[in-house]
Amino acid sequence: MNKKTIKAAFPHTLPVFMGYLFLGIAFGVLLASKGFHVGWAILMSVTIYAGSMQFVAVSYVVAPFQPLSVVLITLMVNARHIFYGLSMLEKFKGCGKLKYYMIFGLTDETYSLLCSAEPPEGVERKWFMFWITLFDHCYWILGGAIGCLAGTLIRFDSTGIDFAMTALFIVIMVEQWESTTNHLPVLIGIGSTILCRVFAGEQWFIIASMAVILLSLILLRPFFERKGKKVFEEVQQP
Amino acid sequence: MTTIQVLLTIMIMAAVTLLTRAFPFLVFPENKKTPEFVLYLGKVLPFAIIGMLVIYCFKSVSLFQAPFALPELIAAVFVIAIHKWKHNLLLSIGGGTVLYMFLVQVVFG
């Protein structure tokens, strides 16, 4: 916990600062438009701390109470985090108590920072990763609070502001597309989900598409690996 | 929904989110080796999942009713194009959202 570590970590978090502030504001405005005050925005951003999930949460806190459905949708929307953890198993080794907070704060954006950011000489890696995680968390809380306050004070038509979430996913998809030459996995994801949406209906299509995606990838494993290790190895984490 | 039910909903979401993030660390403790099969899925799944999430966002859009998914299509193409061009998170997300809001509120509103 020294100044040097904080100074080293902060510049790495600037892109996330921009992204989270805007997304957080969008979330806060959306929540305010449903009649919730800033305390709720802060509570949700502190405890849930998952961008896309909190947009989904807005539609759940105004609907009738349905705990099972909440568990399922959270699992479905956040299942991808399981795979982020998988690639952090090594990096988080030996981080002691800090590890628990870093696991809690492993969002899409923090994950992508932790994958690439290297601490400078003389800065302890675990504290460096911890500060990146903490900075990102603060930006997210700040954005949500600003958005919710603005949305409560100034009344304006916020129809369509939830597109911020769609835009974020599209941006991550574009970045992933550029990071690999093997586009089959993402095309499988898009294709299966469209098919399942058409045939399984709005309520069940996500579970159906997760099953189809898992099955397709498992069946394709020999193909990916036989087609030459190269193609497979180029598939990297975003 | 009552205040207690809103609180419960938030707590469930927080707990399940934490569970998805902690799962690999619970299953594969620091001293154990991760199986090949899991590593394979860990590599390919994030790509497939993001494709799924993008489609998920368009789940309620109808192709057969006005405005025939046009606002979504235009805004999505804009986000892809501007991000490929500038790679600026704020511009892509902010610009795309403002464009979409303008489309649904003014142009097709």
Q: Is the pLDDT of residue B20 over 50?
A: yes
- Inter-residue contact A4 to A127 (CB < 8 Å): no
Query: Count of domains in chain A?
Result: 2
Q: What is the pLDDT of residue A227?
A: 59
Judge if B54 and B97 occupy the same domain: yes
Judge if B3 and B43 occupy the same domain: no
Among A131, A158, A178, the domain boundary falls at A178
Judge if A104 and A186 occupy the same domain: no
Judge if A162 and A198 occupy the same domain: no
Q: What is the pLDDT of residues A166-185, one digit of tens each?
A: 888 898 899 889 888 889 99
Question: What does the pLDDT average to over A98-127?
Answer: 89
Q: What is the pLDDT of residue A200?
A: 87
pTM, 2 dp: 0.75
Residue recorded with tokens 């509570």 = A43
Smallest Cβ–Cβ distance between A160 and the set B12, B54, B105 belongs to: B105
Judge if A85 and A73 occupy the same domain: yes
3-state secondary structure of B64: coil
The answer to whether the CB atoms of B93 and A93 lie below 8 A apart is: no
Selection from A82, A81, A105, A24 nearest residue A58 by Cα = A24
Rounded Cα–Cα distance for residues B25 and B21 (Å): 8
Question: What does the pLDDT average to over A104-115?
Answer: 87
Range of the domain at B102: 33-107
The answer to whether the CB atoms of A62 and B43 lie below 8 A apart is: no
pLDDT confidence bin for B66, thresholds 50/70/90: confident
Q: What is the pLDDT of residue A1?
A: 58
A81 neighbourhood in chain B, CB within 8 Å: 17, 20-21
Range of the domain at A149: 3-178
Judge if A153 and A195 occupy the same domain: no
Judge if B7 and B48 occupy the same domain: no
Q: Is the pLDDT of residue B88 over 80?
A: yes
Cα end-to-end span (Å), chain A: 29
Q: What is the pLDDT of residues A95-108, one digit of tens each?
A: 999 999 999 999 98
Judge if B64 and B99 occupy the same domain: yes
Q: In this predicted complex, what is the ipTM?
A: 0.86
Judge if A160 and A233 occupy the same domain: no
Judge if B41 and B53 occupy the same domain: yes
Rounded Cα–Cα distance for residues A49 and A105 (Å): 7
Looking at the complex, report in whole angstroms how far the Cα of residue B45 sits from the nearest Cα belonging to chain A: 7
Q: What is the pLDDT of residue A168?
A: 81
Q: What is the pLDDT of residues B30-48, one digit of tens each?
A: 777 778 877 787 778 778 8
Query: Count of domains in chain B?
Result: 2
Among A147, A178, A209, the domain boundary falls at A178
Q: What is the pLDDT of residue A193?
A: 94
